[in-house]
């Protein structure tokens, strides 16, 4: 089997094309700065993943920025850090600021010459639209959790 055997390539976006871990860490910096406890990157990401998974199970149809805001609120509570509704909403809106992985744009531009490119993602359309700007390649189709309701 060769790559040239395919006409369409599908991608998960976050963690594959967008560096969601770095994006989450950067977006959580304001909260973490207010903590008296030092947390490692691994511990922060593990706490985030646990809260995100629980929230997705609790409300699978929740739009991603709202889900992220709820996760932020729960992390603040878990860590005993004061945070405002504006802080929660800012974290929820952070997806578009998450950086692309260093090789994503060039690799997608190359692949676009030969294939149709499709995104499958657990975010919402608006968040992906912001991330798409960082990737620099038009996708032939985009399917988000918002589109499918889960």
Confidence of residue 149 (pLDDT cuts 50, 70, 90): confident
pLDDT tens profile 9-34: 999 999 999 999 999 999 999 999 99
Question: Hey, what CATH topology would domain 3-17+99-148 get?
Answer: Rossmann fold (3.40.50)
* Degrees, nearest 5: CA angle 93-94-98: 150
Distance CA 99, CA 27 (A): 11
pLDDT tens profile 40-82: 999 999 999 999 999 999 998 899 999 999 999 999 999 999 9
Domain boundaries, the chain: 3-17+99-148, 20-97
Task: Give the list of residues 6+ apart from residue 10 with CB closer than 8 angstroms, or none.
Answer: 118, 119, 120
pLDDT tens profile 125-144: 999 999 999 999 999 999 99
Q: Which residues pair with 116 in a beta bridge?
A: 8
pTM: 0.90
Q: What is the pLDDT of residue 67?
A: 96
Q: List, by residue number, the catalytic residues.
A: 12
Strands 141-144 and 8-12: unpaired
Domain at 20-97, CATH from 1.10.40.60, 2.60.120.10, 1.50.10.10, 1.10.150.750: 1.10.150.750
DSSP string, 17-31: TB-HHHHHHHHHHHH
Q: What is the pLDDT of residue 1?
A: 80
Rounded-to-5 percentages of helix, strand, coil across the chain: 60, 10, 30
């Amino acid at each position: 089997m060769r790559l040239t055997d395919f006409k369409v390539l599908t991608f998960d976006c976050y963690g594959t094309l967008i560096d969601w871990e770095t994006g989450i860490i950067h977006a959580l910096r304001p909260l973490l700065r207010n903590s008296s406890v030092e947390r490692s990157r691994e511990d922060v990401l593990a706490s985030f993943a646990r809260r995100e998974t629980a929230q997705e199970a609790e409300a699978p149809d929740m739009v991603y920025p709202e889900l992220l805001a709820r996760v932020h609120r729960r992390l603040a509570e878990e860590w005993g850090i004061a945070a405002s509704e504006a802080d929660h909403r800012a974290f929820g809106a952070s997806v578009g600021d998450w950086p692309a992985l260093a090789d994503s744009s060039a690799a997608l531009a190359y692949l676009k010459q030969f294939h149709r490119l499709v995104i499958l993602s657990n975010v919402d359309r608006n968040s992906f639209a912001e991330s798409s700007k960082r990737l620099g390649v038009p996708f032939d189709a985009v399917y988000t959790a918002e589109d499918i309701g889960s």
